[in-house]
Amino acid sequence: MALTAIPVGFVAGLFGIGGGLITVPFLYYIFNQLGVDPQYVMHLAVGTSFAIIIPTSTVSVMTHHKFKAVDFEIVKSYGLFVVSGVVAGTIFAASLKTKALVLFFSVIIFLLSFYLLLLKEKEQSVIKEIKLSLKIIFGFIVGFLSAPMGIGGAIMNVPILKFFGYSINKAIGSAAAIGFLIALFGAGGFLISGSYLKTNLPLSIGFLNVPAFLIFIPITTFMARIGAKTVHKIDKSKISKFFGIFLLIIASKFLYEYFKL
């Protein structure tokens, strides 16, 4: 579990994703091996992932901010609608079975990976104003989809911000900040829903596993700082493609797991 935390933290800082895309699959396998109730194993992985993202994304955002790569105006004006989606998505996730949750995770990641791989980089980024109606629609959808997946939403927010003219670095930094809000409300939602359902999972509070949280946090926060510094040294034209390939691998692995269930 400790070894898993190293790539989770690094990739979290590198892509501003909070680490959920790696954390959820690994926690899913670990909890499966430990004999956690199959009905709730994916829920526990997702809830614990959100709890881990909170401090990890905090370190990532602070590092990106040093490179002036976080737009706090978009975080404030867009984040409110993202949070509303997270609340609704958490309620939705609690009603899903593990197999449905795995398929949902896979399909969304596949779509986003293809978008990033096919995306053409512009030589000069010009930020366009995002209308309030679009902030409401995109924000709610991103929050709603992030909740069942246990992610910070950057896999959707980075492409969205890039579409509106943000550079890849600024899109990643701002998405990491929005991810903090998603994780905070997502963790709270899974803690409450797990407690309400009286799951009584071992060493857990609701759908948050305490030992996994304590093991991951010191390692992921340290590695997130390194990852966030690294992204500002990489050729901008290549970062989106690296991100797309990364998502494609994760989606393929989870789809394989779906057919095994």
In DSSP notation, 148-212 reads: HHT--SHHHHHHHHHHTT--HHHHHHHHHHHHHHHHHHHHHHHHHHHHHTT---TTEETTEEHHH
| Closest of 72, 158, 77 to residue 115, by C-alpha | 158
Residue 158 has pLDDT above 90, yes or no: no
Beta bridge partner(s), residue 204: 209
Highest average pLDDT, of 1-10, 43-52, 124-133, comes from 43-52
When mean pLDDT is compared across 47-51, 91-95, 184-188, the lowest value belongs to 91-95
Give how far Cα 113 sits from Cα of 106, 120, 141, 143, 202, Å.
11, 13, 17, 18, 35
Residue 60: the pLDDT is: 84
